[in-house]
Amino acid sequence: MSAKAHINPNILRWMRERGGLDVGDAAHAASISPDQLARWEAGESQPTFLQAQKLAQALHAPFGYLFLTEPPAENLPLPDLRTVGGAPVPRPSVDLLDTIRLSLQRQAWYLDHLHDEGADPLPFVARFATDAPVRAVAADMRAVLGIDVENGQRTWGVYFRQLIDAAEAAGILVMRSGIVGNNTHRRLDVGEFRGFAICHPLAPLVFINSADAPAARLFTLMHELAHVWVGSSGISNASPGNARREEVFCNAVAGEFLAPHDVFTPLWTASTASLPERLAELAQRFHVSRLVIMRRALDLGLVDHATYLQHYQVELAAFRDKPGGGGNFYRNASVKNSKRFARAVLAETLSGRLLLRDAGRLLGVQPGKLRLLAGELEQ
């Protein structure tokens, strides 16, 4: 008979709830029956060590947690800038926590790499405070990135890639994913967060939740880059409806960058279309969501607050995430990790200073497939 693991049933229940799972879903993930899991949570029976290990894995928690007397404190490693209706959001999900931790691990490795290379701090990080003129910050971002105003000459995809390539060329790690690591069963929740920024003078990092709709991703990218320019780390939902001062400022900078006052205002005032049609036209023109266009009009005094609230609620209700496909794994791997980060890891590996095993772990790729990833980065 297999030895029993004398786990704490209260901790088991906490681990399940921490993962946002009901008994049925948790039991399915652990390949056991719901009745069996219910008995373990009630303390009526105990799992074997193998069952307990599988259970911890299914609940995305360390095996040792099952034997604790009290739940451990799991604080967010970044400031939480999100709000819903002006109130702080609920406890962060395991998926969000694990995504932040993975990003911090990768940034830490890259910082060690930069220290070895004798890299200098990036001059634009924390260059401005949140009381700076919005247009001045947006102009400086445009100068550093070397991206001219979008006047309809680019498609959304081309514009998005140019902005990311420019940010990486400037020294910013831009990571994008809609799942936790490589686990396609752990889809990131757009309702919980759209992105986050981890500021550092040597290697600032921004993460974009690519489970979001394309137009929303573009705004989130610029919102998180604005956080870098003011030297602010934190988790954001990048929603135009967020009322926190710091988020309002970064929203305004992103709006000015993507839809500059001097371009947006004449187009808005010259349009004779109805408000919904005008929102759709300008959203397509500036490659952002209609929510962003509505907020931009409010910030520029082109609509009153009552009109904004009325149409904002309509657009918010209509704004839904689009399902994504699998795509090329190795192309996705370079996107998830940031090309700058991936190239640094591969360079250290080819020089012999980093083991294939460690490189694969950092990049989330099997060691034997690193050459495929290197080939994808050269395209």
- Cα gap 47→7, rounded to integer Å: 8
- The predicted pLDDT at position 334 comes to 53
- The predicted pLDDT at position 173 comes to 97
Classified as helix, coil or strand, 96 is helix
Measure CA 29 to chain center.
Answer: 25
Residue type, 349: T
Q: Locate 258 and state its tokens.
A: 């993507």
- The predicted pLDDT at position 257 comes to 95
- The predicted pLDDT at position 364 comes to 83
CA 259 to each of CA 206, 250, 254, 283, 295: distance values in angstroms, whole numbers, following the listed order:
21, 14, 8, 10, 11
- Cα gap 332→335, rounded to integer Å: 5
CB 170 within 8 A of CB 124: yes
DSSP string across 212-275: S-HHHHHHHHHHHHHHHHTT--EEE---TT---HHHHHHHHHHHHHHS-HHHHHHHHHH--S-H
- Cα gap 28→34, rounded to integer Å: 8
- The predicted pLDDT at position 327 comes to 44
Give the single-character DSSP code of 14.
H
- Cα gap 333→179, rounded to integer Å: 12
Residue type, 305: H
Q: pLDDT tens digits for the chain (379 residues)?
A: 568 888 888 888 888 887 777 888 888 888 889 898 889 888 888 888 888 888 888 887 888 888 888 888 777 788 888 765 555 566 788 899 999 999 999 999 999 999 999 999 999 999 999 999 999 999 999 999 999 988 777 888 899 999 999 999 999 999 999 999 888 888 898 888 889 999 999 999 999 998 887 878 899 999 999 999 999 999 987 666 666 788 889 999 999 999 999 999 999 999 888 988 999 899 889 988 888 888 889 889 999 888 887 776 676 566 544 444 444 444 455 567 788 988 898 888 888 888 888 888 888 888 877 877 777 776 5
Measure CA 7 to chain center.
Answer: 34
Residue type, 322: K
- The predicted pLDDT at position 205 comes to 97
Q: What is the pLDDT of residues 78-119, one digit of tens each?
A: 888 876 555 556 678 889 999 999 999 999 999 999 999 999
- The predicted pLDDT at position 209 comes to 92
Closest by Cα among 157, 161, 133, 136 to 147: 161
Q: How many CA atoms lie within 13 A of 337 on its CB side?
A: 30
**Torsions phi, psi for 105 (to 5 deg):** -65, -45
- The predicted pLDDT at position 323 comes to 44
Q: What is the pLDDT of residues 13-51, one digit of tens each?
A: 888 887 777 888 888 888 889 898 889 888 888 888 888
Report the topology of domain 9-67.
434 Repressor (Amino-terminal Domain) (1.10.260)
- Cα gap 18→22, rounded to integer Å: 10
| All structural domains of the chain with their residue ranges | 9-67, 83-318, 329-377
- The predicted pLDDT at position 316 comes to 59
CA dihedral (336, 338, 339, 345) positive or negative: negative
Residue type, 211: A
